[in-house]
Amino acid sequence: MSTPATVFWQKNPALAWREIDGETVIISPNDSVMHELNDTGSFLWKNIDGKKSAVELAELLLENYEVTPDIALSDTQALLEEMSSRKLLVTVPAIGGVSP
């Protein structure tokens, strides 16, 4: 994973989104694309608050789902990277400020 472990993850504030029956739907406004998250993706999405790193999010996943630590971390990192590539997330340096 290319993103340093010290960054926190934050939802792109421009997005529209809603969790409906455990699954999250996200609309990116500029291109009107709809994105869907499954149950575990929605769990991570709910916990992405600009104050947690990938490792911390993976730990939450580990506490709430039957999964090994390695898979929790790799799944979390993969999802964060994918969402970041789609501009659904931004990273926040631990000392403040939002990176592009």
List interacting residues with another protein (CB under 8 A): 14-21, 23, 25, 27, 29-38, 40-41, 43-44, 61, 65-67, 71, 75-76, 78-79, 82-83, 86, 88
- Minimal CA–CA distance to 90: which of 98, 19, 82? 98
Nearer to another protein, 73 or 92 (CB): 73
d(CA 18, CA 85): 20
- Compare residues 8 and 43 and give the one whose CB is closer to another protein: 43
Comparison of 33 and 94: residue with beta carbon closer to another protein? 33
Smallest separation, CB 64 to another protein (Å): 10
What is the end-to-end Cα distance of the chain in Å, rounded? 17
What is the rounded (10 degree) CA torsion for 81, 74, 40, 62? -140
